[in-house]
Amino acid sequence: MTALSPHLRQATPVVAVRGEGVHIHGEDGRRYLDFTAGIGVTSTGHCHPRVVAAAREQVGTLVHGQYTTVMHQPLRHLVDRLGEVLPAGLDSLFFTNSGSEAVEAALRLARQATGRPNVLVCHGGFHGRTVAAASMTTSGTRFRSGFSPLMSGVVVTPFPTAYRYGWDEETATRFALQELDYTLQTISSPADTAAVIVEPVLGEGGYVPATRAFMEGLRERADRHGFPLILDEVQTGVGRTGRFWGHEHFGITPDILITAKGLASGFPLSGIAASEELMRKAWPGSQGGTYGANAVACAAACATLDVVRDEKLVENAEAMGARLRHGLETVAARTPAIGDVRGLGLMLGSEFVTEDGDPDPQTAARVQRAAVDEGLLLLLCGAWNQVVRMIPALVIDESAVDEGLRAWTAAVEAGTSGAADR
């Protein structure tokens, strides 16, 4: 008999048979509140009627029009729709299927455009599982171990993770920028640096937002030294943080923007955006792919962007994120095992720690499992998997937030009771 790889273990025991909005219905007959959204993918909720209708209609007309062979209307429409939400000047697009592919496309463009070999990455960042993307990933060894040698030319510089350092944000930011300058002076000279890539909020690294001063510092150094600033908005984009793009919290604009996950509400689609001037510096033949910009995925993405706009989901993410964060902080205030609550919009994490302040993945895992019993689906992240993260669909309303907080409260009580004795 054949079976899935034993390493494809599910985070919950749920066998999903149907999804609707912020809920998943299991084979066991239970309805679960889904605060995972397919790892931030189902931005408009499960099976939003307008997204389903757009995909269904497209399936009946053209499923696959390979976009370096023929042009198709959904792709044209998507380019126009993204032009309405992308930062000014980022007017050229290239589409792929996954976040990892888009990350590698951004790296390739930066290296070809600058003629330089190295890329600076921030400690704690996650950029994917393919070889180049994994080489740039430092959120955990599980993503990059066992298939060395990794890609050369990757240089790691600190991210202002204030909680981990035990500092305030100003101190952590000053340290991170000083170390970046030291790195450019001692390891990768500006003349050898093709780009710096960063997530506006660390994803797998523990849901740690950047700071405005840090992002401004990256922008200033990229301008001064003449290399592109690449922002990995795979998870933070399309409204997740309460702004359409996560970098909007920090008042800067990237040279290359990477998008995926929530762009098409569950259909595989990713891409990079840059200025036409920069995109023209890619070498002929360096951009392409069989399934990129699939017609059905593009139709779903257009419908997703329409829903995000018409239902004001960016504004909803900000409001519901504030409500959810307040509830999480209330629980944390009476729970010594929760050392920190952080994030932006509907991208929030609660970090579990021991009495000594060390990462506590065991308690985090107990709470995550207890949440399933309460009908709430959650995921872990962080270097030790010590952070429980919440990323519900952007369509979530007050009643669902409150339902989730009630389940979270019960799960935390169950998961932390007697934790010190285990």
Statement: residue 78 has pLDDT above 70: yes
Q: What is the pLDDT of residue 418?
A: 64
Distance CA 15, CA 66 (A): 34
At residue 288, φ and ψ (nearest 5 deg) are: 170, -165
Length of the chain: 422
For residues 275 and 90, is the Cβ–Cβ distance under 8 A?
yes
Helix (H, G, I), strand (E, B) or coil at 392: coil
The β-bridge partners of 312 are: none
Q: Return the percentage of the chain with pLDDT > 90, whole number.
A: 98
Would you say the C-alpha torsion 347, 352, 357, 360 has a positive or negative sign? negative
CA atoms of 125 and 109, how far apart (whole Å): 20
Q: For the whole model, what pTM was predicted?
A: 0.97
pLDDT given for residue 59 in this prediction: 98
pLDDT digits (tens, 9 = 90+) for 266-279: 999 999 999 999 99
Q: By C-alpha distance, which of 259, 295, 353, 341 is closest to 58?
A: 295
Q: Parse the chain into domains and list their residue ranges.
A: 16-34+313-417, 50-311
pLDDT of res. 167 = 98
Class of domain 16-34+313-417: alpha beta
CA distance 256 to 142: 27
Tell me 316's DSSP state.
Answer: H
Alpha helices, DSSP H only, in 123-168? 131-135, 162-165
Using CA of residue 251, residue 268, residue 343, residue 33, what is the dihedral sign?
positive
Q: Does domain 50-311 have CATH number 3.40.50.11140?
A: no
What H or E segment, with its residue span, contains residue 77? helix 73-83
Whether residue 77 is predicted with pLDDT greater than 50 in this model: the reply is: yes
- Tokens 């600058």, located at residue: 114
Rounded CA-CA distance 9/104 in Å is: 27
pLDDT in tens, 143-187: 999 999 999 999 999 999 999 999 999 999 999 999 999 999 999
Question: Under 8 Å CB-to-CB from 413, ≥6 apart: which residues?
Answer: none
If we measure between CA atoms, which residue out of 228, 218, 247 comes closest to residue 159?
Answer: 218
Q: Give the chain's mean pLDDT.
A: 97
Alpha helices in 247-288 (DSSP H): 276-279
In sequence order, the 6+-apart residues with CB closer than 8 A to the CB of 148 are none
Residues 128 and 39: beta-carbon distance below 8 Å: no
* Predicted local confidence at residue 295, as pLDDT: 98
Residue 200, preceding bond cis, omega within 30 degrees? no
Mean pLDDT score, 8-33:
96
CA distance 263 to 276: 21
Q: Which residue has the higher pLDDT, 1 or 364?
A: 364
Q: Residue 96: helix, strand or coil by DSSP?
A: strand
| Whether residue 121 has pLDDT greater than 70 | yes
Q: What is the pLDDT of residue 309?
A: 98
Residue 165's CB is within 10 A of a number of other CB atoms, namely: 13
Mean pLDDT on 298-323: 98
Mean pLDDT score, 383-401? 98
User: Which tokens is 274 given?
Assistant: 């840059």
pLDDT given for residue 9 in this prediction: 87
The pLDDT, as a whole number, for residue 422 is 41
| Whole-number CA gyration radius for the chain | 21
Residue 62 has pLDDT above 80, yes or no: yes
Single out the residue of 231, 251, 279, 227 nearest to residue 79, CA to CA.
Answer: 279
Give me the pLDDT at residue 415, please. 97
Q: Is the pLDDT of residue 420 over 70?
A: no
- Report d(CA 165, CA 169) in Å as an integer: 10
pLDDT above 70 for 421: no
The two structure tokens encoding residue 34: 């889904």
Query: How many other C-beta atoms lie within 10 A of the C-beta of residue 213?
Result: 17
Q: What SS3 class is residue 365?
A: helix
